[in-house]
A and B are shown apart, each in its own frame.
Chain A
Amino acid sequence: MPATLFQKVWDAHAVRTLPSGQTQLFVGLHLVHEVTTPQAFDMMRQQGWRVAFPERTFATVDHIVPTSSQRRPFLDLMAEEMTTALERNCREAGIRLWAPDNDNQGIVHVIGPELGLTQPGMTIACGDSHTSTHGALGAIAFGIGTSQVRDVLASQCLALDPLNVRRIDISGRLNRGVYAKDVILTIIRRLGVQGGVGFAYEYGGSTIDAMTIDERMTICNMSIEGGARIGYVNPDDTTYAFLRGRRFSPAGDAFDRAVAWWRQMASDTSATYADRVTFDATAIEPTVTWGINPGQSVAVSEPIDGDPDDEAFAFMGFRPGQRVRGTRIDVAFIGSCTNGRLSDLEDAAHVVRGHHVAPHVKALVVPGSQAVRRAAEARGLHDVFIEAGFEWRGAGCSMCLGMNQDRLEGRQVSASSSNRNFKGRQGSPTGRTLLMSPAMVAAAAIAGEVVDVREMLEAVPA
């Protein structure tokens, strides 16, 4: 019986059908961070429960960590308290933690793949909605709440209902200046921010096949912004090449045996899907959001269409028919679990080289992990950014959600490579976010306003 990767992974991890009709699903990899877990560990203590599989949980600190200086103790007392709490919880439970003083610290969705923890065919849960990122390697990965974090700690299982699978085929070659971010923004724009509720999204087609794992992660990361709790790409040779030699990847003969299993777990070519949609990659342009949810976007060359959302227009200060291009920005943010990996910084640096940030713009680059930061520095990217007037920061979530000191002020407009343009998302209740690719953010930082990155790239060798 032909099956999708989702069905195969679900079946391989199903423990039993619970009396409620839900499936008791084994969680192969549990990732935790400082913000959504202290209460879960407290509940465990209150019940007197022990962590069932401590070797299957890994922890890092990302949401609240300062990125200007990561020396301990943090000047931000709450960041220090939350980090200390996680350190204590992990020590008591025997969970491996990568704190800011460790070379492997970073955004949980950046370090999982980087360390080879994220592997095809796994179930992965984390108290963070962007856990869908890990689907880029052919895992079934999803966000959970704190009470469910407690359940995973206590039992390594969750009670879940299965999802339907929607196959999203994207075909053709992306034009220069068009990136994975533009693809996923286009998908969400068409299918809607609620279109994925009840579905896992399986991305495929020649565009996805040609993408690197970094690009696939950008796509899978924002599945949740389209309402889909899970997004994945079937594992292929690109996946196996990415995983080979990583710290937690199987080594030697075990790697070859792993590849054989991973291949089996991929969707069968004759698998059936609850729904199928197709996109033409050649028609996708650099895309920017204009509103207050990630579905409210336009191609940078286009006027904003007649969306009936008056609240979004009023909050953002746009009018129907207006273009986002030419909008003056105050802040440029390059980073996040969506676009904070090495290739994202390379794409941005490619645009920045030889230019300077506009005088009125505060621009920051926040690498997704310490490993990304080191790799970027080895390539001299930090010099490119610093010479251009960007701040070069430590690893963390930073201004994606403004839980640390990196926040918008007042009604500032931010060109951001992150994932959410919700009201208040970047730390100021009235702050305004324009989501776009890292290269588009870099171009906006230099011009001081939203521009079409394709025009800047014309002057740069490919």
Chain B
Amino acid sequence: MPLRGDELDTDRIMPARFLRAVSFDGLERHLFEDDRAADPGHAFNDPRYAGASILVVNANFGCGSSREHAPQGLVRAGIRAIVGESFSEIFQGNAAMLGLPCFVASHEAVERLQTLIETTPDVAIAADVTSGAITAGTMRIAATLPAALRDGFVSGQWNPTLMLLDRYDEVRAVADRLPYMNWVIG
């Protein structure tokens, strides 16, 4: 589904009042809640895009707050990949942790893709994490993922927790070398 606009910040994606909870359950119901209320034609109100799994956005998507509630809501709403002109670093990292790749394509390519979907809402779109190719009908555009994320998605190891837990002795050695680790008092 196409969602036009630059600087769609995470307060827009998930307004702060929906962070008043101790779990992420049900966040998909509140995606863009205020934008949707203000604009009946908002993409997330549009029945033509119901069930969409690829979101196509413009520049600096997900800027602002680091709240993971924003990508959590998108994933829980069935979004499996995002294609955009650019993303905030924190959003892109949070999304990757949830297995949601954020593909970067040129302004021109994104606009063409958005226009195509708006005129042909039932067009099938595929995003290939290995090559970065986005195909929509006969349209094919080149996109990229940061190398580490691409490799993680290709190997299925996008969540680094187990790798981080793997070598405690090396972590301990770094900690022991840091002078301030011995200063904590109080």
Tell me which of A39, A197, A420 contacts B11 (CB under 8 A): A420
**How far, in whole Å, are A267 and B93 apart by their CA atoms in the complex?**
27
Are B175 and A194 touching (Cβ within 8 A)? no
Closest B residue to A296 by beta carbon equals B7
Give the Cβ gap from A222 to chain B, nearest Cβ, in Å: 11
CB contacts under 8 Å to B, within A64-91, are 64, 78-79, 81-82, 85
Are B174 and A121 touching (Cβ within 8 A)? no
Closest A residue to B161 by beta carbon equals A151
Are A403 and B89 touching (Cβ within 8 A)? no
Give the Cβ gap from B176 to chain A, nearest Cβ, in Å: 11
Per-residue CB proximity of A153-182 to B under 8 Å, as 1/0? 011111101000000000000000000000
**How far, in whole Å, are A247 and B186 apart by their CA atoms in the complex?**
6
A16 on the B face (CB < 8 A): yes
Closest A residue to B183 by beta carbon equals A250
Are A20 and B148 touching (Cβ within 8 A)? yes
Tell me which of A147, A403, A424 contacts B97 (CB under 8 A): A147
**How far, in whole Å, are A145 and B69 apart by their CA atoms in the complex?**
9
Tell me which of B7, B64, B151, B164 contacts A154 (CB under 8 A): B164
**How far, in whole Å, are A128 and B98 apart by their CA atoms in the complex?**
18
Per-residue CB proximity of B157-186 to A under 8 Å, as 1/0? 101110111011011001101111101111
Report A-chain residues with C-beta under 8 Å of the C-beta of B152.
20
A231 on the B face (CB < 8 A): no
Report B-chain residues with C-beta under 8 Å of the C-beta of A159.
148, 160, 163-164
B49 on the A face (CB < 8 A): no
CB contacts under 8 Å to A, within B19-62, are 19-24, 34-35, 37-38, 59-60
Give the Cβ gap from A420 to chain B, nearest Cβ, in Å: 6
Are A198 and B89 touching (Cβ within 8 A)? yes
User: Given A194-B60, A247-B186, A424-B11, is A403 in contact with B180 using a C-beta cutoff of 8 Å?
Assistant: no
Closest B residue to A230 by beta carbon equals B89
Give the Cβ gap from B170 to chain A, nearest Cβ, in Å: 5
Report A-chain residues with C-beta under 8 Å of the C-beta of B136.
none
- Residues of A in contact (CB 8 Å), total 82
**How far, in whole Å, are A233 and B34 apart by their CA atoms in the complex?**
38
B146 on the A face (CB < 8 A): yes
A18 on the B face (CB < 8 A): yes
Are A157 and B171 touching (Cβ within 8 A)? yes
CB contacts under 8 Å to B, within A6-62, are 12-16, 18-22, 24, 26, 28, 35-36, 38-39, 42, 49, 52-53, 55
Closest B residue to A158 by beta carbon equals B164
User: Given A21-B151, A145-B94, A248-B186, is A26 in contact with B174 using a C-beta cutoff of 8 Å?
Assistant: yes
Give the Cβ gap from B40 to chain A, nearest Cβ, in Å: 15
Per-residue CB proximity of B2-18 to A under 8 Å, as 1/0? 00010101011001110
Give the Cβ gap from B180 to chain A, nearest Cβ, in Å: 6
Are A258 and B183 touching (Cβ within 8 A)? yes
Are B64 and A129 touching (Cβ within 8 A)? yes
A422 on the B face (CB < 8 A): yes
**How far, in whole Å, are A21 and B177 apart by their CA atoms in the complex?**
23
**How far, in whole Å, are A159 and B96 apart by their CA atoms in the complex?**
12
Tell me which of A42, A154, A254, A424 contacts B12 (CB under 8 A): A424
Give the Cβ gap from B114 to chain A, nearest Cβ, in Å: 16
Report A-chain residues with C-beta under 8 Å of the C-beta of B80.
none
Tell me which of A14, A81, A119 contacts B180 (CB under 8 A): A119
Per-residue CB proximity of A117-146 to B under 8 Å, as 1/0? 001011000011100000000000001111
Report A-chain residues with C-beta under 8 Å of the C-beta of B37.
429
Closest A residue to B85 by beta carbon equals A194
Are B98 and A12 touching (Cβ within 8 A)? no
Are A422 and B12 touching (Cβ within 8 A)? yes
Closest B residue to A84 by beta carbon equals B22
Are A39 and B22 touching (Cβ within 8 A)? yes
A190 on the B face (CB < 8 A): no
Tell me which of B67, B149, B168, B178 contacts A36 (CB under 8 A): B67
Closest B residue to A250 by beta carbon equals B183
Tell me which of B24, B147, B159, B175 contacts A26 (CB under 8 A): B175
B63 on the A face (CB < 8 A): yes
Are B89 and A145 touching (Cβ within 8 A)? no
**How far, in whole Å, are A11 and B166 apart by their CA atoms in the complex?**
20
Are A18 and B160 touching (Cβ within 8 A)? yes
Are A147 and B185 touching (Cβ within 8 A)? no
Give the Cβ gap from B99 to chain A, nearest Cβ, in Å: 10
Are A147 and B60 touching (Cβ within 8 A)? no
Closest A residue to B94 by beta carbon equals A145
Are A422 and B9 touching (Cβ within 8 A)? yes
Report A-chain residues with C-beta under 8 Å of the C-beta of B64.
129, 224-225, 420, 422
Closest 7 CB pairs of A and B: A145-B94, A145-B68, A429-B34, A159-B160, A143-B66, A147-B97, A155-B164
Q: Please report A residues at the B interface, Cβ cutoff 8 Å.
A: 12-16, 18-22, 24, 26, 28, 35-36, 38-39, 42, 49, 52-53, 55, 63-64, 78-79, 81-82, 85, 115, 119, 121-122, 127-129, 143-148, 150-151, 154-159, 161, 193-194, 197-198, 224-225, 227, 229, 247-251, 254, 257-258, 261, 292-293, 311, 401-403, 420, 422-425, 427, 429-430
Supplied contacts A157-B171, A250-B180, 12 more A-B pairs, CB within 8 Å: A14-B174, A15-B171, A16-B170, A39-B24, A128-B66, A158-B164, A194-B86, A197-B86, A248-B183, A251-B185, A401-B11, A420-B64
Name 27 A/B residue pairs within 8 A (Cβ), A-sorted. A12-B178, A13-B178, A18-B163, A19-B151, A19-B163, A20-B148, A36-B66, A39-B24, A52-B168, A64-B20, A78-B21, A82-B22, A143-B66, A144-B66, A147-B97, A148-B93, A148-B97, A150-B161, A161-B148, A193-B60, A197-B89, A248-B183, A420-B11, A423-B11, A424-B11, A425-B11, A425-B16
Q: Please report B residues at the A interface, Cβ cutoff 8 Å.
A: 5, 7, 9, 11-12, 15-17, 19-24, 34-35, 37-38, 59-60, 63-68, 71-72, 86, 88-90, 93-94, 97-98, 146-149, 151-152, 157, 159-161, 163-165, 167-168, 170-171, 174-175, 177-181, 183-186
